[in-house]
Structure formats: C-alpha cells, structure tokens
C-alpha cells in the first residue's frame, strides 16, 4: 500500500488558520495542542520590492491524515477548509509529481 502525505503549496497559503482550527474541531484538541500548526516566515525584503513572506502549516504527530474522514470518502479537514485551496492529500508518488509540475514553493509532509 502506498504511503500517503499532505502537499502544501505555500505560494498560496494565505495564513488563514482554517487548517489549525478545523483540525482542532475534528480531533477535539484543547488549547495549545495542535494536529497542524501554522508557521510564519518573513516578511523580509530580499531586494527592493521583492518580498519573502510565507505561511507553512506543519502537521504534528497528532495528525493521522484524518483516517476516519478518508474512510467516509471525505477530504482531510485541513484540506477541505483551506481558503487558498493550497493543500492536497494523496499518495506521495502522485503528490511528488504535482510538486515537480509546479516547480516552486511546494512542500510535502508525511506526518
């Protein structure tokens, strides 16, 4: 059986926190405990007018890629709710192809 993962297109992660909160709802997690948590890098200016400012959600070991939801034919909670539609779930081989096809600002997690 294939290994599954989460693909994040951080060119379009807008930092909305929907992944964090929907994961907490799904997993019934208390305050300060996360199944996925948003990290912020930047903003800083590389050359005039050229900014780096990224949000990247990182799954923790509480993440089971929403096995229950997958079983019901649904998407993982974070993937469904992501406002930028910047998250994807699937077999790592497929996700790797998507990463390569886009060619920038992609990261894959296998929690």
Is 14 or 67 the residue whose CB approaches another protein more closely? 14
Under the binding rule (CB under 8 A), the answer on residue 2 touching another protein is: no
H/E segment holding residue 30 = none
In the complex, what is the shortest distance from the CB of residue 1 to another protein, in angstroms, rounded to a whole number?
A: 26
In the complex, what is the shortest distance from the CB of residue 37 to another protein, in angstroms, rounded to a whole number?
A: 11
Q: Which range in 13-21, 60-68, 90-98 contacts another protein by CB under 8 A? A: 13-21
C-alpha to C-alpha distance for 71 and 33, rounded to whole angstroms: 25
CB 69 within 8 A of CB 76: yes
**Which residues face 95 on adjacent strands?**
none
CB 44 within 8 A of CB 54: no
State which of positions 25-54 bind another protein (CB under 8 A): 25, 31, 42-45, 49, 51-53
Is 80 or 108 the residue whose CB approaches another protein more closely? 80
The C-alpha R_g of the chain, in whole angstroms, comes to 14
């Amino acid at each position: 059986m294939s290994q599954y993962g989460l693909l994040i297109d951080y060119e379009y992660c807008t930092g909305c926190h929907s992944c964090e909160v929907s994961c907490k709802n799904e997993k019934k997690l208390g305050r300060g405990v996360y199944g996925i948590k948003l990290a912020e890098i930047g903003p800083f200016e590389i050359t005039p007018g050229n900014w780096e400012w990224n949000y990247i959600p990182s799954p923790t070991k509480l993440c089971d890629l929403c096995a229950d939801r997958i079983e019901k034919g649904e998407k993982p909670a974070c993937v469904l709710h992501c406002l930028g539609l910047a998250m994807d779930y699937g077999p790592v081989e497929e996700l790797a192809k998507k990463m390569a096809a886009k060619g920038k600002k992609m990261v894959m997690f296998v929690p």
